[in-house]
């Protein structure tokens, strides 16, 4: 009760102390800096290794496990977990707070250089998670049913305009359908039968099929007798779709 009694006996003193604390708080709040995107770094590393055309089981056995065994002894490591996808392995290393990530990255790279991976595997890439690299805005647009046309507009028009805007560092386009070019050698008879089956003449396919007869590589350049390029027999032609 001494504090209560002293406050009741000296109300002016209590008022001055309270007013001083409020003023100091207001001044400190006005000078406190606020960052929209503060510098945040997480003590973690992700090791990504690509193994094309491999099943998740093969990725787990031949890539993920050797990588985990190699980097599992890096100093400061707290937690280690991995994900094996078709054709890709991701091993995430989480370190204790205060760990120097540049030294941890060098130590992980030294361990990875000693790992024996399949010949088809790509060189492991070490990546650090940086929140500042995450997109701050996502724009979605739709219209019609032609996904190739939408992606072409996004890449050639919208992306170009956004990249020229002040303060924009990078623009990435995702989704839609990408245009592909496929070539195959088919016999003239099979091509004519296919056109008749779909009741379409060559004029109906302008802009869709580009017909081009090509000369087999190596012809007339010392090609050994009796050897022919696949699809280069008489009566065949290359079509580009």
What pLDDT is recorded for position 12? 87
What pLDDT is recorded for position 206? 47
HSE of 202 in the Cβ direction (CA atoms, 13 Å)? 6
User: What CA–CA distance (Å, rounded) separates 159 from 165?
Assistant: 10
Phi, psi for 206 (deg, rounded to 5): -60, 135
**Six-digit token string for 69:** 């065994």
In a domain? residue 87: yes
Identify the domain boundary among 117, 132, 147: 132
What pLDDT is recorded for position 183? 61
DSSP secondary structure string for all residues of 139-200: -----SS-HHHHHHHIIIIIHHHHHTSTT-------SS------EEEEEHHHHHHHHHHTT-
What pLDDT is recorded for position 19? 93
What pLDDT is recorded for position 230? 47
Among 110, 114, 78, smallest CA distance to 97 is for 78
Boundaries of domain holding 139: 135-180
DSSP 8-state class, residue 24: H
In a domain? residue 8: no
In a domain? residue 26: no
User: What CA–CA distance (Å, rounded) separates 50 from 118?
Assistant: 11
**Residues of the chain under the 50 pLDDT cut:** 201-202, 205-235, 240-241
Based on the fold, state whether residues 141 and 167 are members of the same structural domain: yes
Provide the number of structural domains found in the chain. 3
In a domain? residue 84: yes
In a domain? residue 119: yes
In a domain? residue 95: yes
DSSP 8-state class, residue 134: S
Q: Taking the mean position of all CA atoms in its chain, how far away is CA 145?
A: 26
What pLDDT is recorded for position 229? 47
Residues forming beta bridges with residue 177, ordered by sequence position: none
Based on the fold, state whether residues 127 and 160 are members of the same structural domain: no
DSSP secondary structure string for all residues of 57-87: HHHIIIIIHHHHHHHTT-TTEEEEEEEEETT
What pLDDT is recorded for position 182? 62
């Amino acid at each position: 009760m001494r504090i209560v009694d002293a406050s009741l006996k000296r109300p002016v003193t209590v008022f001055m102390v309270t007013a001083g604390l409020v003023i100091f708080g207001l001044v400190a709040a006005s000078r406190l800096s606020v960052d929209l995107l503060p510098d945040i770094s997480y003590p973690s590393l992700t090791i990504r290794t690509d193994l094309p055309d491999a099943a998740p089981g093969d990725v787990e056995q031949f890539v993920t496990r050797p990588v985990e065994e190699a980097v599992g002894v890096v100093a400061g490591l707290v937690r280690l977990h991995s994900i094996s996808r078709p054709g890709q392995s991701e091993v995430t290393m989480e370190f204790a707070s205060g760990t120097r990530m540049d030294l941890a990255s060098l130590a992980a790279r030294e361990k990875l250089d000693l790992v024996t991976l399949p010949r088809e595997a790509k060189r492991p890439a070490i990546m650090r998670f940086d929140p500042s690299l995450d997109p701050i805005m996502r724009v979605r647009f739709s219209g019609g049913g032609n996904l190739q046309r939408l992606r072409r507009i996004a890449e050639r028009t919208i992306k170009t305009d956004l990249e020229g805007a002040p303060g924009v560092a990078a623009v990435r386009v995702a989704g839609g359908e990408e245009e592909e070019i496929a070539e195959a050698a088919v016999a003239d008879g099979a091509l004519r039968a296919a056109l008749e089956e779909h009741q379409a003449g060559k004029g109906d396919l302008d802009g869709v099929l580009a017909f081009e007869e090509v000369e087999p590589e190596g012809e007339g350049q010392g090609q050994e007798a009796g050897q022919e390029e696949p699809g280069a027999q008489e009566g065949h032609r290359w079509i580009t779709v």
